[in-house]
Structure formats: structure tokens, C-alpha cells
Structure 1
Amino acid sequence: MSNVDLILPLLIVVPLLAATLPIALGLRFDRTGWAVAAIATLGLFAAATALASVVYTDGLVTHTLGGYPREYGIELVADRFSTMIALLVTAVAVGILAYTRRGGPRGNTFYTAYLLLVGGLLGITLTGDVFNLFVFLEITSIATYALVASGDGPESAVASLKYLILGTVAASMYLIGVAFLLMATGTLNMIELATAIPAAERPTLIRTAFAFIVVGFAVKVAQWPLHTWQPSAYQQAPDGVTPLIAALVSTASAYAFGRLIVTVFGVDYLAAMPNAAAIVVTVGCVSVLAGTALAVIQTEVKRMLAYSSVSQFGLVIAAYGIVIAGNSGAAKTALTGATIHLVGHGLLKAGLFLAAALVATSYGARTVHEYAGLATHRPVIAGAMAVLLLSLVGVPPGVGFVGKWYIALGAVQSQLWPVAAVVFLSTMLTLGYAARLLEKMYFTPLRVESPAEPGPVATDGGSDADDPSEVGSAERSTDATASETVVPVTASSRAAPETVSVGMVAVVVLAALCAVALGFAGGTFADLLEPFLTEVIS
């Protein structure tokens, strides 16, 4: 394993080079993109697993490109923090391919953008240089703009344009912050910056850099009120695209922000910076409350889950604020919670958006009211979705509970009682919109107006006696009370369902099982992160 450091550049270079193959091969062969993406992502997952076995056994793995000193060269770093995110990226990328094989999109250009996105995400995760972090953020963003715009209709193009404008502003803000850091310290390497920033002769430049970086990442992580790109992007992207960007794009950005806090600026330096902790905590807490409140009032499922992400990432940002403000014990607890929540949320949102895509495909439902009777007709999908929703709420033993528990515990240890209250309140509000969906699936029967005929839809074990392929969806009543009871459906109100494969259902079930399994692994997460936490938090 002496050359294990070579895995680091390969994890980034392979998907970027493989991204050219679907288009090149597409000149001669049709639909080669999925096979190329499957081979590449399976190889990336295997490589990330091998890297993790070394990192969690032997410690830090680094690779300096070209052999140049890191002061002015490019360095890639895998530690116990970044490796968890690399495993998440590669695992989710493999899982989503099980859906796109049948559910699409299927074009070669889609898989080119898919692989570019995976390469950019792994670059964000493994880079040890703040400028190259900007480069990989832009690769990720450009691929995401293209993927969102690949949806049907002008709404997708508008959502992509909105994302492009706000994403460009965010990247510019971050790059300005990097420029100020370079002016103040003369280096771009993260480890060198950690040493140079406390000794910088112009602290005003450092504080200004931090301010620009906070604003840039507030957009990238979709923090309220700079979140407006996210609901539209998630809603209008193709069903096979939304799980990927929802699970990974903002997750990688939130990881990068945490990396800059604990590795570049340093907890001690930021703790001494006036109002730094208060600003980060406030941004996170406001996003938690605003995101959950907006999610509760949504009727479209993908949009509801998008606002949920605003809230869940707010918890991570609030945890970063605790890291800055708290004592060493509270900081370690909060950072553990933030890491677990990042990994858990990525898994949960991948599963939930894949489940929503399956429901839209096999049941023809996209709004909360149209989910009536889902548990009867699609019991396996409904069951997996219920497990994922309950974990998102924070019901033990789901992984969502573990992350929230550590964040709340860190807030209590640092005596930031308002943050602990926000975590509790967000759980109640999350239960509000999750319970609406569960009530529709399990306790609201689907009323039919005409006999239904058996359709060709492949089910997951439910009865097709009242198959929705013929009966359509529930019409929303203008009466508020009637909207919460059984409502009639018409054949024209729901699009005809399509066949789903066993693999499409299996990946959602696997996500639900992993959500529960990781919920039992909270102590393991903490043990794996302990050496890293001890290093970055004194």
C-alpha cells in the first residue's frame, strides 16, 4: 500500500476523463453512457473504500501533484473528515445509477455531465488548496446547471438560469475572499494558511476574507434568504437528477465550509474574531426555522423536500457556529454531529427523492394529496419512504436522530440554549410535514369514480385491484377541510404510470435500511473522527 496516495488524484481524474467517453462513443454507438458511468462509479466506490481502510487504520494520506512543495504546489488530502464525504459521494453516485438505468435520463450527454459532477464533488472533498476548491466548486456548479436544464419544459431552463446567476455570485464572493487571504498570507495551501493566518500582519484582510467566504457559502449551501435557487432547481430537474444534486451538491459545499473553519481559519482564531460565532449560529438557526416553516406549507413533494434541505443544512451551519463559540468538548461534540448529519442527510435525501421519483413513475403522484392510498398500492415504496421520513424527523434509531442529538448536546454543553431550542422546534416542524405525507399514504384511502382495469405497471407487492393507472389522482379541493379527507379522483388528473424495475425499488429500500443501520453507528462515527477532532480542536 505504499502507493495508496495515488488513489487521491485517480479519484478526481478518472471521472473527469471518463466524462468524455459517452460523447465520444456516442458518435458510433447509442446509449453507451450508462455503462461508462456504471463502470467508472463502481471503480470510484471501490477506490474510496480502499482509501478509507488506510485512512482509518494508518491516518492521513496526502499526495502532492508534480512533487512541488505545498507552499505553491497542489496538494490532495484524505483525512477522517474528508474520507467520509468521499465514501458518501461515490456510494450515492452508484446507487442513483440503479434508477437512471430504467428511469432516465438516458442520453450520453447526461452521463457526461453526471461524471463531471462526481469528479467535481470528489475534488471539493479531497483538495488541500483554497483556490483549487474554487475550481472544483465551479466544475460541480457547471455540471449541475446543465443537469437541471435537461428537464422538460422552459421551467427547467429558468430554474437553471436562476441557479447559474446566484451560483456565479456565490463563487465570485468566495474567490474574492480567497484573494484577500492570498494578499494577507502569500499562500493558498490550507495547512500553510492555518499557520500563516494567526501571524498575519493585516488581520482586517483576514476578517474581510472570512465575511466574503461566509456569504459565498451561504448561497452554495442554500441558507435563508439566499436559498431561492434550491427549491426551483430541485423541483424542475429531472427525477433522476434531483436525488444526485439534493444528496451531494450542497452537502459537498457544507463540508467545504466546515473544512475552511476548522482547518484554514482555525477554531481558536475564529473564536477570538468579533461576532464570527454569532453570525454563523444566527445564519444556521434562521435557516432551520425558515426552511421547516416553508416546507410545512408546500403541497408539491419535491418542493417540500427542497425546503426541508434548507432547514437540515441550517442545522449543520449552526453546529459550525457551536464549534467556534463552544469550549473544546462542546466543539468536538458539535462537529461530530455536523459530520454525521451531513452523511445522514445525504443518504436520506437521496432515498427520499428516489422514492418520490418512483411514486411519480409508478403511481402518477407528485403532490401530497395525490399520495392518498400509496401504502395499499405500493407498500414497499411507501414503507421505505416512511422509514426515511421518520429518520429525517429524528426518530431513533434513524441516522437523523444521531446527528441532531450530537448537535443539540454540543449546544447544551456550550450553554447556547437558543440553539438547542431551535433543534427541538425544527424536529417538531419536520414532524409536521412528514406526518402529512404519512397520513396520506397510510390513512387516506383513494376513492375511485369508475372501475379500474389492471394495467401493465410492475408493482412492489401491492394489489392492483384499484390501479391508479386508470383512476388518476385526487383533485385538490378548495375547501381546507375537504383537502384533508378522502377526495374523488378522475382519470384525466394523473398521468399514466410507467413500469419500474426491481433495481429501482431495491435502491430505495437499501437507502432506508442504511439509514437505520447508520443510526446504530453513532458511537463508531465519533470514534472514527476522534483523532481528527483532537487535531483541529485544542
Structure 2
Amino acid sequence: MSHLLPLLVTVPIVGALVPVVLGARRPVLSRRLTAGVLVGQVGLAVAVLVGVAATGPRTYVVGGLPAAVGIGLRADAVSSVFVLLVAVAAAALSLTVRTETTGPTDSLWLLFVAGLTGIAVTADVFNLYVFLEISGLAAYALVAGRRGTRAALAAFHYLVVGTIGATLYLLGVGYLYVATGTLAMADLRVALAGIGYDSPLVVTAFVLVTVGLGVKLALFPLQAWKPDAYAAATPDVSALLATLGSTIPGYALVRLVFDVFTASFLDAVPLVRGGLLVVGVASVAAGGFLALRQSDVRRLLAYSSVLQMGLVVLGIAIATPAAVTAALVLLVANAVAKGGLYAATGVLADTFGATTVDSYAGLGRDAPLTAAAVGVALVSLVGLPPTVGFAGKWYLAVAAVDARAWVVVVVVLLSTLLSLAYAGRVVERLYLAPAGHGVEPVAADGGGHAAVPSGDRAVAFVVVAALATVLVGLGSTALAAWFAPVVEGWL
């Protein structure tokens, strides 16, 4: 099964060449081949997951080079889930929500998949940077692909902030290499303990790496790029970014903290743990408050992601098995719910010209299936049973009580109230407000080109995503048990 690991990255990278070569001359063939690559990626991800279940974690070093300097790959019970999430989400969104495809955007879509998959399976910190850049550059270009100055400015903002974040991460990697002489995660775990966790070099590396990834997660106060990018992009791109753009860097942060620096580092440097708690609390409070102030639904959902990622950071700060499991489950929960919600915003914008909370008035009657799916996904963001969002918050609250982290308990409750407030605004307009007068569908970029999803396939994706929040929630105990061997090994 180990030989499948490099294929997870090389297949979408090589596949990205096909639309460039055939896109202009044979557009239909190019689209079909792109779809074939994405479906094949799902097959590879499933094969890796099944292999991990059968034989345990697998590793691979490209070219047989020493692990300390080679391109190392690793798949375990946790990373295989996120590899599958990337493959399924990218394929499903491409086959259902996308309506206007071109050779360049198909290539960027595949490169985005390759980069995020690489982040999930890489076994060294430098190549994690390389894959961050691949996925980041693809994301910037996908946002810029929408016509109009709004998308161009949002993509430029995204590019500048994302580049700063990646640079900070790379500086942190440089400090790690200077301190240890290795880039392999397994070797770093041992070497950092030998150097001493309170070494200024190690602490500086941790701060730089965390801040760099914090930009990708859009943690407060580094979140300003996200609402602009998500609101300016086409609905298919915003759904892709909302599902995966912060989820996989979030997994990377969890893995680096516990598989490289380890929980012992947090115990040895209480100031770092305190910093994570402050960032988590601030992200929850700021994300919820800013979401309440938004009239544009896509911006509201973007700020709600800031809140959700704040909860993930709180799980990291508590650093117990239950808390780390909560962080991982919350990442999955946010991904599934946001993918469906952003796809739904495209459906409602295409059909009714509705892009603001007020313009959703009465759509529960006009688009009952889509509105119901939106309501279920919002319930998951609030954290109510039986959704996966509830499971993540429950694990976090239990972990906080066990650790006597009463501030975190209060913040979890606060996050539920804030989420209920902004989600309640949307649900109230959908079902209780008088029907609005509606407007003609108009592209958000002001260019008059409504590149938005429509039809039964997009609605089907929205419904399936909503059902997935419930099904994964009902199976959350099994998901936590699946994560348990890796999480316990970290701690």
C-alpha cells in the first residue's frame, strides 16, 4: 500500500497538465479527463484508508533517500481521513456545483487538490511548506478567476496575506533545521526533546510556524482576507475553499503541535499554552461578533469559520486526548457544513438573486429542499444534536471540564450562543419572514456574469452535505475511536 502514497500527490499534479494541453482545443474531452482524475483520486484515497485500517500506518520515502533529507510521506488513521475528505469534496463539488469550467481553472482545481493532499501525507516540515504554497497559489488564482475588480482585489489581498503566512512558516522551519539538522517530523520529535523545549530557538520556531499556519486558518486577528476572498469568488470556488482551505492547514497545525513539538512542549512553556488559549478565545468572540454584523451571507459564513477555528485552537491548548479528538472532529464538522452552505448560497443566488440575509425572506417556502439543508448545516455549526458539530463541541466541553479549564467551558457555551444568534437570523428569514420581492440574478463581481451553480445536481450536493453532518454526527463515536490510536500516540 505504501506505493499508493506518492500517487496521491503525483496523479492530480500530472492530471493538471491535461486541461492546459486540451482545454482550448478539446474542452469536452478535457472536462471528462479532469473528472476522471478527480474520481480516480477518490479511489486512491479509499484504497489508502482501507490499507491503513488493514495494516496500520504506512510510510514512503521518494527515491529511497534518507528520511532526514528525502521527501517522506506517511498515512495513518488521522491523515487518511483528511486525504479522503479532500478527494471526495473536490470531486463532488466539481461534478455537481461547477457549471463553467475552463482549462486553466480545471488545472488550478487539480493543483489545489494535490497541494492539500500533500499537506495531509507529508512526513517532513519543509515539504509541508512546498505543498502549502502549491495549494495557496492555486487558491489565489481560483479566486482571481472571477471577472471584475472585486475578485481581483480580493485575490491580491489573499495572495499578500497568504505569502506572509507561508514566509513566517518557512522561517520557523529554518529555525528548526538550525536547531536540529533535520526536517523529518519523526526525527524532530526526538531532537527537540534533547535540545530542551524552553530553548529560545525552539520557542521562536513554534511561534513562527503557528502564526504562519494561523494565517491559513484565518485566526483572529489574521482573518481579514477570508470574507473578501470567499464573497468575491465564484460559488464553486468559495465552496471548495470553505470546505478545505482552512481544514487541512488546521490538521497540519494539530499534527505539528503534537507529532513534532509534542504536548510536553506546551507543559514546559506555559506562556505558549496561554497564548494559544488567548488566540482561541479571541477568535471565538471576534468571529461570532463579526458574523452577527454581516448582511452578506457568504461573509457571515466566513466569519463563522473564524469562530470554529478558534474552538480548534482551544482543543489544541488543552492538549488531552479528548481535546485533540475534539479539534479533529470540529475540523471535519466545519468542512462538511461549510461546503454545503456555500453551495447553497450559490443555488439561492442563481435562482432568486438572494445574497443577503434579508433577501432570504420566505425562501423556505420557495426552495424548501435547499432551505431545509441550510437549516440542518446551520444546526451543526451551532452545535446541536445529532450533528457532527455537536459531537465536536461535546468532546471539547468534556475535555475542558476534565482539565478544569473553566474558561474554555464558558467559551464553548458562548460559541453556541453566538452561533445560535447568527444562524437564527438566517433561519428566521428563511421561514418566518414575509416573502421578499426578489431581484434578478446578478453576479457579485459587478461584471454581469453570473457564474453560479444551478440545477438539481447542485441542490443534491447541498442536501447530501446536510445529511452528512447528521450521519457523521451519529457515527462520531466510531470516528473518535478511529482517531484514538494516533491521538494517544501523540500524547
- Name the TM-score class by shorter chain: over 0.9
Query: Which residue of the other structure, out of 61, 68, 71, is the alignment partner of 1:64?
Result: 61
1:78 aligns with 2:32: no
Shift of 1:31: 4.4
Shift of 1:496: 9.5
Q: Deviations over 1:221-246 (max 9, x none)?
A: 10111111111011111111001011
Q: Which residue of 2 aligns with 1:534?
A: 488
Tell me how far apart the structure 2 counterparts of residues 199 and 522 of structure 1 sit (CA, whole Å).
Answer: 37
Distance change (3 Å), C-alpha of 1:528 and 1:498: closer
1:524 aligns with 2:452: no
Tell me how far apart the structure 2 counterparts of residues 108 and 179 of structure 1 sit (CA, whole Å).
Answer: 37
Q: Which residue of 1 aligns with 2:445?
A: none
Corresponding residue SS for 1:225? coil
Shift of 1:501: 1.9
Q: Deviations over 1:136-169 (max 9, x none)?
A: 0000110001011112210111111111111111
Q: Is the 8 A contact 1:99 1:354 kept in 2?
A: no
Matches within 5 A, 1:442-461: 442-446=431-435, 448=437
Q: TM-score, normalised by structure 2?
A: 0.96
Query: Which residue of the other structure, out of 154, 163, 176, is the alignment partner of 1:159?
Result: 154
1:295 aligns with 2:249: no
1:309 aligns with 2:305: yes
Tell me how far apart the structure 2 counterparts of residues 143 and 366 of structure 1 sit (CA, whole Å).
Answer: 26
Query: Which residue of the other structure, out of 254, 257, 276, is the alignment partner of 1:258?
Result: 254
Q: Deviations over 1:33-54 (max 9, x none)?
A: 4322211111111111111112
Matches within 5 A, 1:123-522: 123-200=118-195, 203-323=199-319, 331-446=320-435, 448=437, 468=438, 500-522=454-476
Corresponding residue SS for 2:194? coil
Q: Is the 8 A contact 1:171 1:216 kept in 2?
A: yes
Tell me how far apart the structure 2 counterparts of residues 497 and 131 of structure 1 sit (CA, whole Å).
Answer: 37
Tell me how far apart the structure 1 counterparts of residues 43 and 409 of structure 2 sit (CA, whole Å).
Answer: 39
Tell me how far apart the structure 2 counterparts of residues 166 and 439 of structure 1 sit (CA, whole Å).
Answer: 35
Shift of 1:252: 0.9
Shift of 1:275: 0.8
Q: Which residue of 2 aligns with 1:462?
A: none
Query: Which residue of the other structure, out of 30, 33, 37, is the alignment partner of 2:34?
Result: 37
**Where do 5+ consecutive residues of structure 1 fail to align?**
324-330, 449-467, 474-493
Corresponding residue SS for 2:66? coil
Q: Deviations over 1:191-214 (max 9, x none)?
A: 000011111279221111111112
Letter in 2 for 1:255: Y
Q: Deviations over 1:363-422 (max 9, x none)?
A: 110000100111111111111111111111111001110011111111111111111111
Tell me how far apart the structure 1 counterparts of residues 151 and 217 of structure 2 sit (CA, whole Å).
Answer: 20
State, as a whole percentage, how many aligned pairs show the same letter.
41
Q: Which residue of 2 aligns with 1:96?
A: 93
Shift of 1:498: 8.4
Tell me how far apart the structure 1 counterparts of residues 155 and 195 of structure 2 sit (CA, whole Å).
Answer: 40
Corresponding residue SS for 1:396? coil
Corresponding residue SS for 1:197? helix
Tell me how far apart the structure 2 counterparts of residues 169 and 313 of structure 1 sit (CA, whole Å).
Answer: 20
Letter in 2 for 1:81: V
Shift of 1:56: 2.2
Shift of 1:321: 0.6
Corresponding residue SS for 1:346? helix
Letter in 1 for 2:122: T
Distance change (3 Å), C-alpha of 1:498 and 1:46: closer
Corresponding residue SS for 1:63? strand
Higher helix proportion (structure 1 or 2)? 2
Corresponding residue SS for 1:5? coil
Q: Is the 8 A contact 2:346 2:453 kept in 1?
A: no
